[in-house]
Chain A
Amino acid sequence: AQKITQTQPGMFVQEKEAVTLDCTYDTSDQSYGLFWYKQPSSGEMIFLIYQGSYDEQNATEGRYSLNFQKARKSANLVISASQLGDSAMYFCAMREALNTDKLIFGTGTRLQVFP
């Protein structure tokens, strides 16, 4: 069964610096997708970025990029030029299995950006 592991319960970063949030996954499928979501203190879940297993390039969306290392089964989120508004919980997710849309989530990393 698929599994997502986020080993960093909390991370601190100074404003304008870059930060990497780790995510490793376990799957026996060849085709899969990885997602990152942001959850601010207000509670909503905001989609950030997607990486497909067959995508040749690492995904990027503005200040977010995904460092995808397939052989290591890692999909780390990189946030460049951190802003105070980036302070939030960040969740890595993937589909539970090839034949379903159910997402399974990691336990999340709480990022705090300080001035």
Chain B
Amino acid sequence: DSGVTQTPKHLITATGQRVTLRCSPRSGDLSVYWYQQSLDQGLQFLIQYYNGEERAKGNILERFSAQQFPDLHSELNLSSLELGDSALYFCASSVAGDILAKNIQYFGAGTRLSVL
């Protein structure tokens, strides 16, 4: 158990809908990362938050947004869903937001999103 909690584990929804994925980082971790894993794109970084502030952005669509709350949990909001958004979405957390060589990211179990 990595200590990172993601809910829900599975989500089935229809095109055009909006969903929210939730992540609770490991105790003491200030950084939260979101990744998307799909068959065609592999594992891709979406966005990082550190202590409530956006720190880095990757290939995140404009239809997607995220935030980190004062209690450090994070939510990833996906709207106007398309079939191609079906994927496994991971949250990871790490201790620091500084660029440390050994800043290990620990992943949650993922939320599997199916858009029908």
Contact = CB atoms under 8 A, between A and B. Distances in A.
A47 B45 contact: no
Contacts, number: 66
A70 interface: no
Interface residues on B, range: 20 to 34
Interface in B1-43: 2, 31, 33, 35, 42-43
Interface residues on A, range: 20 to 34
Contacts of A35: 104-105
A101 B97 contact: yes
A78 interface: no
Given A101-B48, A102-B58, A105-B43, A43 B99 contact: no
Contact of A52 (B88, B102, B106): B102
Interface of A: 31-33, 35, 37, 42-47, 50, 52-54, 91, 93, 96, 98-105, 107-108
Interface of B: 2, 31, 33, 35, 42-43, 45, 48, 55-56, 58, 88, 90, 92, 94, 97, 99, 101-110, 112
A25 to B, nearest CB: 14
